[in-house]
Structure 1
Amino acid sequence: MKSKAVRMYGKFDLRLEEFELPEIKEDEILVKVISDSICMSTYKLVKQGKDHKRAPKNIDTNPIIIGHEFAGDIVKVGSKWADKFRPGQKFALQPALNYKGSLASPGYSYEYFGGACTYCIIPPEVMELGCLLNYDGDSYYEASLGEPMSCIIGGYHANYHTNKVNYNHEMGVKAGGNLLIMGGCGPMGLGAVSYGLYIENKPKRLVVTDISEDRIKRAREVISEEIAAEKGVELIYVNTNSMSDPLEELMALTDGHGYDDIFVYVPIKQVAEMGDTLLAFDGCMNFFAGPTDNQFKAEINLYNVHYNSTHIIGTTGGNIDDLVEAIDLSSKKIIEPAVMVTHIGGIDSIADATMNLPNISGGKKLIYTHFDMPLTAIDDFEELGKTDPLFKKLYDSCKRHKGLWNSEAEKLLFQHFGV
């Protein structure tokens, strides 16, 4: 059958093409992709081309399908998996395969397996690893956003604190502690704020920094300090650009204690070094932001490592349990992945949006792959709705949901485009 996909041939060489998919083998599954959100990691892939560690060296002749945050419907199941999956099932996917030590991953490495397409073929290793999950939620976008949320959840689970009595590490962020998210008003940061308000070992104080008043304003609109207070968390948004001495003032917010857990969400040397300085005794800093420079370095205080037991880790991706948790919490409306989304588009908008991602303001760009639609900011729905009935409906729907994308709005799009 034919599929339409955005394929990468080299550095900043993305092409929207229609091509023939081969017949699936007995150990493969054919799926219809419905939604795919664009990740900054894909921009890094496009920037590096075949130099990226996950990209094959022959992409100029055997292009790969980009996109790895996708969800959709199962269309056809190879006989090997007929007892586990059936046509018509919705699916979610954990793309962090780590199959037998290989770096191969959907959206980076496969000719026929990625999210920026109408149909693709899931290879056997995905099912062998348990990375293809049945999804029963009422929207597709929440399953797509399950992947970035699983990365966030994985970061929370990976942080740890030491125990000097028996040296066992207590995993997770410190319950009742001070938690700092640096560069936290972007899409992933807001996902981390949303999750941090609902975990069992939630902090008593959650400080979120940014340098953009517009991003801070939107953060307050979608996750307010009042909502956090109802959950027993003191949420504080701060613009470090407006501080005369960010180190002193951020430390003062903890009454001089420092931060038990810190997540660095921007790959900036000065931010990482500031985080290291702000760690409390036995504090854990998670360098979450992935740099494109493989020589990216920052200084750490080894005196504090020795005497204050501070420690630094880094996490990338999540595991299957993290994805299951993300989907479960989303389906129960306990967390709101929609806080990450600021733009909606069709398959024709993927290539340009991906190649220009750092220059497009806002958060996550959510794509629906079975129709054409310019990449459009949710904030622009109101103005567009004055002349376009579809955008009027979308605006009204989002307005009923705190300005956030939602399952009702998704269904309105499907009805309009006949998906």
Structure 2
Amino acid sequence: MKTKAVRMYGANDLRLEEFELPEIKEDEILVRIISDSICMSTNKLLTQGKAHKRAPQNIDTNPIIIGHEFAGEIVQVGEKWKNEFKPGEKFAQQPALNYKGSLASPGYSYEFFGGAATYCIIPQEVMELGCLLHYDGDAYFDASLGEPMSCIIGGYHIMYHTNKTNYDHAMDIKEGGNVLILGGCGPMGLGAIEYPLVTDRKPAQIVVTDVDNARISRAKELISSEFAQQHGVQLTYFNPQESNDQYKELLELSNGKGYDDVFVYAPIRELAELGDKLIAFDGCLNFFAGPSDPNFTALVNLYNCHYTSTHILGSTGGNTNDLKEALRLSAQKKLRPAVMVSHICGINAIADTTANLPNIRAGKILGYTQIDLPLTALDDFEELGKTNPLFASLHTSCQKHSGLWNTEAECILLDYFGVERS
């Protein structure tokens, strides 16, 4: 079967190509991909090429398919898995495999397994690990965004606090505590703001910083302080560039106690150091943002680590349970992964978009691999709709859903291009 896919041959070398997939083996599954959201981690892979820890060294002769946040439909099932999976059903998948200690992952390491494609082959280790999930949701994009949401959820669950009596670690954020999200109005940050609002374990307060007023304004529209208050949480947005002393003002927002849980959502040394200074007694800092520089360092206060029991950690990716939680909360309409989405595109635009991602003022970008469509901002739908009925319909749909991408909009788009689906 032929597939069209964005393949990487080395550093800064992406190519959209059509080629033959091999016949699947008895322990493999062939899938048709509908949606693949674009991740900054793929841009890091592209800039590093073979130097990336997940990239194979023969990538120049055996290119990999990029993309790891994808969803679609099962087309053909190898004999080994016929009792568990059926052609025609939807799927979601967990890309963090860690199979027998290997770093291999879809979108980074496999010649025929990645999301920026019309079809791909899922290898046996994915099913063996339980990382291919049955998905019954209405929207493919929710399943694609389940992966980045699982990273956010995992970032919360990995936080911990200690009990000095027995040294037990109480996992997750402190219930009723203060949460600080530094650099938090980007796409992943928006997910990090909304997630604790819809779970049972809620903080009393969330403070979110960003230096971009446009991003803060969008965050306030999507996740307002009033919305947070309805869920029992005080939410404050803060621009440090409008402050004479950001440390002092952020400390005052915590009533002078510091923050029980601090998340650093931008790989900036000064931000990590500020977060370290603002950790409360027995507080925890998660350096969530992944830097490209393997020698990235920051100064941390080890005196506090010793005497005030501060904890510092980092997290990357989520596990399968985190993904299941993301999909469940989305299906229950409690969590809105769409708050992350600012643009859509077709497979023809994925390579250039991935390469230019750091320069695009965007939230999450949804790639629909069965269609050709230029990179298009949701905010541009209204103007484009004056001359294009597709965008007029998409604008109307998004306006009915608080300006967010939604299931109806996805159906309008796929129907317009004649994409068949389950």
Class of the TM-score when normalised by the shorter of the 2 chains: over 0.9
- Shift, 1:362, TM fit: 1.8
Query: What pairs up with 1:226-245 in 2 under 5 angstroms?
Result: 226-245=226-245
Q: Unaligned stretches of 5+ in structure 1?
A: none
Q: Deviations over 1:28-52 (max 9, x none)?
A: 0000000000000000000001111
| Distance of 1:220 and 1:119 partners within structure 2 | 38
Over residues 184-236 of structure 1, what are the superposed CA-to-partner deviations in whole Å (9 max), with x where a residue is unaligned? 00000000111011121110000000000000000011111101000000000
SS in structure 1 at match of 2:54: coil
Whether 1:299 and 2:299 are equivalent positions in the alignment is: yes
Cα separation, 1, equivalents of 2:79 and 2:169: 44
CA–CA distance in structure 1, aligned partners of residues 380 and 180 of structure 2: 32
Deviation at 1:23, TM superposition (A): 0.3
Structure 2 counterpart of 1:111: 111
Match of 1:127, as an amino acid? Answer: M
Distance 2:202 2:273 in 1: 25
Q: TM-score, normalised by structure 2?
A: 0.99
1:340 offset after TM fit, Å? Answer: 0.4
Identity %: 69
Deviation at residue 285 of structure 1 after TM alignment:
0.2
Query: CA offset at residue 20 of structure 1?
Result: 0.1
Aligned residue for 2:213? 213
- Name the CA distance, whole Å, in 2 between partners of 1:208 and 1:80: 48
Q: Distance in 2 between matches of 1:312 and 1:202?
A: 21
Superimposed CA distance per residue, residues 149-186 of structure 1 (whole angstroms, 9 cap, x where no aligned partner):
00000010000000000000000000000000100000
User: How is 1:18-417 mapped onto 2 (pairs within 5 angstroms)?
Assistant: 18-417=18-417
Q: Deviations over 1:359-384 (max 9, x none)?
A: 00020010000010000000000110
Letter in 2 for 1:38: I
Structure 2 unaligned segments of length 5 or more: list them: none
Tell me how far apart the structure 1 counterparts of residues 389 and 167 of structure 2 sit (CA, whole Å). 62
Residue aligned with 1:96, SS: coil
Aligned CA-pair RMSD: 0.4
Counterpart CA distance in 1 for 2:379 and 2:159 is 35
Query: How big is each residue's C-alpha offset from its partner over 1:305-352, in whole Å with a ceiling of 9 and x where there is no partner?
Result: 111100101000000000000000001110100000000000000000
Paired AA for residue 255 in structure 1: N
How far apart, in 2, do the equivalents of 1:283 and 1:139 lie? 38
Letter of the structure 2 residue corresponding to residue 221 of structure 1: E
Distance 2:82 2:175 in 1: 44
C-alpha distance after superposition, 1:293-314 (max 9, x if no partner): 0000000011111111001010
- Residues 93-140 of structure 1, C-alpha deviations (whole Å, 9 max, x = no match): 000000000000000000000000000000000000000000000000
- TM-score normalised by the chain length of structure 1: 1.00
What CA distance in whole angstroms lies between the structure 1 residues aligned with 2:192 and 2:290?
Answer: 16
Q: Displacement, 1:404?
A: 0.5
